[in-house]
A and B are shown apart, each in its own frame.
Chain A
Amino acid sequence: MNQYPFWKNAMVIIVILLGTLFALPNFYGEDPALIISKESGLVFNEAELKDVEDFLLSRESNFTSVTNKNGDLLIRFANVEGQIDASDRLRSYLGRFSTVALTFAPRMPGWIQQLDLNQMSLGLDLRGGVYFKFEVDLDAAIQQRLDQYITDINKSLIDQRIRRSIRKEGNSLRVELVNPEDYNQARRSVREIDNLLEVTNASSGSQTVMVVSMTDEQLKQRRDFAIQQNILTMRNRVNELGVAEPIVQRQGLDRIVVQLPGVQDPTQAERILGATATLEFRLVCENENAFEAEEKGRAPIGCDLFKDRSGNPVLLKKKAIVTGNQLIDASQSFSQGRPAVSIRLDSKGSKSMLETTKKNLNKPMAVLFVQQRQETIEEDGDFFNRSVLDKEVINIATIRGVFSSQFEITGLTVFEAKDLAILLRAGALAAPIFKIEEKTVGPSLGQDNIDKGFAAIVAGLIAIIIFMILYYKGFGLIANIGLVVNLTLIVALLSLLQASLTLPGIAGIVLTVGMAVDANVLIFERIREELRNGNSPQASIAAGYQKAFGTIADANITTLIAALVLFTFGTGPIKGFAVTLSLGILTSLFTAIIASRAVVNFFYGNKTIEKLRI
């Protein structure tokens, strides 16, 4: 009686062995480390490795090793201070063509590394870093597209000499035609621009009106495009920051989550992620009085009113010579001791610049710094975010010669020049973004959280182990083995799934430890009951496991339902808790019902027992 078939014993042993193997990497800990990679994907050679090593030695950095890892350099440190100190030095030493990223390198022995096993991935609250959640202003993406359509339609209708006026109305365009007979031709040209656009006739009385609108499909495509494009751009920008294992992912309909482990300065990160800075070049409206226009609050026809850095009004031509999307590169330079930016234009921009400078020699040209700013506004007690486009004149200079694709401008601060350079290298955002959530956890707090969570698990575990042995004696020991196996399996599953472990996740593990013995308690109490009813020890064991099973299943399934609901509705920390709680329930079912039974069978199965000590 009470014997497992061979396959069941084998299964228990295999699961436990595999679990131990997968959990193993976590016992070795991690070193603070730096990863240095070359920007263009080139690899480091031995000489360069030696050079970096010598540099660190000469700076008395407390690194422990420098190794070549798939062409990148991996430098391990004894502590975080040394790592951060060295990262600053290396950044300035290696210059702009290498990225230096903070990371943690697992301390596993070689054979585990060869098996390609991973440690649990730690959430930001445990390893320190910055978390952002952005909302993408999809409406603005649609409006931008509509603006583009207006430009295209206007151009096409001008070419055909159709007189019209176009304005936006929500998500559609209202095109009013002066001559009713132009309607069909105008309609045709709109369809030529984009034959998916919906065109409806909204004429009434003497007015001939065409309403052009984007289809739902087009709107959806446009929104998806904006998000995808933004994610791509933000990934590029994160690379500029030099972060190991960054996460940039879409969440829900219009959100983007960015996680930057190890980053300590959220302000800098956010500036780079959200950079919208670009430039625009325009001619100055020379014969108009800007102060007069400011007083009237209205710019003369063909001109727009702007301000320069000192707050003085400036009137500029409505038509831009070159806009932001015609810039392809910007790099910092110095011009007569002041920070300058050299600009490169694409072919369209170059052509326009060439023509304009040729025609307007010795006339003034203005450079506008264009930036999106987010602003929180209150309306009926609710707070909203909106983006505001700031255009500011940073520089007006007289055109002294003809130039086209490459030139230098001044008037920017160092920060602005950097932002602009990053924006041009990493791409522009397709739609404005708003930060809706930000979390920064310092590295000391992260380590503190790990230590405290670990201490709580150990303390709880020890308390339960002592309690179970005192109360159930031999069987308590079996439950305790189950408990330890259970913990090992949770760690193994977390390492295998690479679900990130957060502080609430640790709480979930602690809670599971407390509840995991429940199944064993149910079984053992049943066995005691059966013994009291005068059954033989062997029969009591069998009946105890059998009768308790239904109860254990019911009780755990309902808890699992609660955990799954948490997982579905929860975000971030709650999800972490739900994951470990669910995993814990599953593993505790295995250890309490199947594994503990195997041990019980091993000790008591097929033997004559006088008295069961339970």
Chain B
Amino acid sequence: MFKTTIKFLSIRRITTILSIVLMILSGLSLVTRGLNPGIDFTGGFQIEVSFQEAPEIQQVRLDLSTSGFDDAIVQNSGSATDLMIRTAPREGVDSRKVGNQIIEAVSQSSNNVELLSSEYVSAQVGEELTEQGGLAMIFALIMIMIYIVFRFQWKFSIGAVLALIHDVLITLGIFSFFQITFDLAVLAAILAVVGYSLNDTIVIFDRIRENFRSMRRTETLEVLNASITQTISRTIITSSTTLMVLLALYFMGGQSLSGFSVALIIGVLIGTYSSIFVASTSVFYLDISTTDLLPSKREEVDDGMP
């Protein structure tokens, strides 16, 4: 598609600064604002109700606080007639009664209320999940690093993991900045972002490895640029098709999947950027060279498929 090599890495200073600034801002937002965790992580009650006619949210809040739920979070979910109500775990209350109490409270002054879904998570389960989620993330990163060291080389491994940390941190940063609810589905999405972004990075790395072997006398920067150029149309096409389905999921998949789709949309965009600029720039700064990639003892066997 592109006959001449595009000098992607000539703007590496700008992209590096941009990435670092974004990561610092994300970190700052995570520290100061924090995430807006769903009840999967905090524990508590979450109830989705559908009203016959669109309710006044202000009135619903008032009804709830007069019934003792002054900490309840009320927001629209999906349509104007559907509401999502969330409240923290509470002391000395029989957990099996809270759901009914909330429904009673919101139906005081309003029209017909239908229960769509209700959820209760104890604080203890929430804590475990937070722990598990963090562990899963770390464990996934370690496993992936090991695989890349084994299949490629340690410099690539570091490049790939830096790109992943970059993607996850910035996606989390955006969730924190806009205070989008961070629930289990979003956590799954972020791990899928890890998988996706890695996919992209590996494709470019694969080409870099191949080119280092075939373009022996070329300068490192030239090899990197050539590799990115050769794979760029694939990168764009795959990102586009993935974004297409994610947009379909966001617009048609309903409220329950919106957080999930948003996380993946952000993640795919950042992941595409990072595999070009973060991963490749990192291996450049790590001073990758032909000697790192010469087939060691045995000649790399071309996996004769099919």
Contacts and interface: CB of A to CB of B under 8 A. Distances in A.
B124 interface: yes
Given A437-B122, A452-B253, A554-B206, A383 B43 contact: yes
Interface in B41-87: 43, 48, 50
Contacts of B151: 554
B221 to A, nearest CB: 21
B306 A594 contact: yes
A562 B192 contact: yes
Nearest to A518: B238
B185 A504 contact: yes
Given A452-B254, A467-B240, A573 B302 contact: no
Interface string A510-534: 1101110110011001001100000
A224 to B, nearest CB: 22
B116 A569 contact: no
A440 B187 contact: no
A574 B184 contact: yes
Contact of A441 (B99, B117, B184): B117
Interface stretch (B9-17, B90-98, B171-179, B287-295): B90-98
Contacts of A79: none
A267 B188 contact: no
B195 A456 contact: no
Interface in A399-453: 434-442, 444-445, 448-449, 452-453
Interface in B180-233: 184-185, 187-189, 191-192, 194-196, 198-199, 202-203, 206-207, 230-231, 233
A439 B119 contact: yes
Contacts of A369: none
B184 A573 contact: yes
B260 to A, nearest CB: 6
Contacts of A522: 203, 234
A266 B135 CA distance: 32
Nearest to B44: A383
Contact of A377 (B91, B119, B191): B91
A459 B117 contact: no
Contacts of A562: 140, 144, 191-192, 194-195, 198
Contacts of B246: 510-511, 514
B240 A452 contact: no
A437 B119 CA distance: 7
Contacts of A453: 253-254, 257
B165 to A, nearest CB: 14
A104 to B, nearest CB: 19
A518 B237 CA distance: 8
A460 B248 contact: yes
Interface string A541-569: 00001110111011111110111011011
A439 B237 CA distance: 40
B136 A570 contact: yes
Contacts of A383: 43, 89, 91, 122-124
Contacts, number: 267
B185 to A, nearest CB: 6
Contact of B260 (A382, A384, A471, A504): A504
B136 A559 contact: no
A438 B120 contact: yes
B125 interface: yes
B261 to A, nearest CB: 8
Contact of B95 (A435, A554, A569): A435
A324 B283 CA distance: 72
Given A435-B95, A528-B1, A546-B302, A559 B249 contact: no
A48 interface: no
A545 B302 CA distance: 12
Interface string B284-306: 00000000000000000011111
Interface of B: 1, 43, 48, 50, 89-97, 99-100, 114-125, 129, 132-133, 135-136, 139-140, 143-144, 147-148, 151, 184-185, 187-189, 191-192, 194-196, 198-199, 202-203, 206-207, 230-231, 233-234, 237-238, 240-246, 248-249, 252-254, 256-257, 260-261, 264, 302-306
Pairs A-B, 9 closest by C-beta atoms: A460-B245, A562-B195, A569-B136, A514-B242, A514-B245, A559-B195, A549-B305, A452-B254, A459-B248
Given A515-B242, A558-B148, A573-B188, 9 more contacts: A440-B99, A440-B118, A445-B116, A456-B257, A461-B245, A504-B185, A521-B237, A573-B184, A581-B192
Interface of A: 4, 8, 125, 133, 135, 266-267, 270-271, 373-378, 382-385, 434-442, 444-445, 448-449, 452-453, 455-457, 459-461, 463-464, 467-468, 471, 503-504, 506-507, 510-511, 513-515, 517-518, 521-522, 525, 528-529, 545-547, 549-551, 553-559, 561-563, 565-566, 568-574, 577-578, 581, 593-594, 597
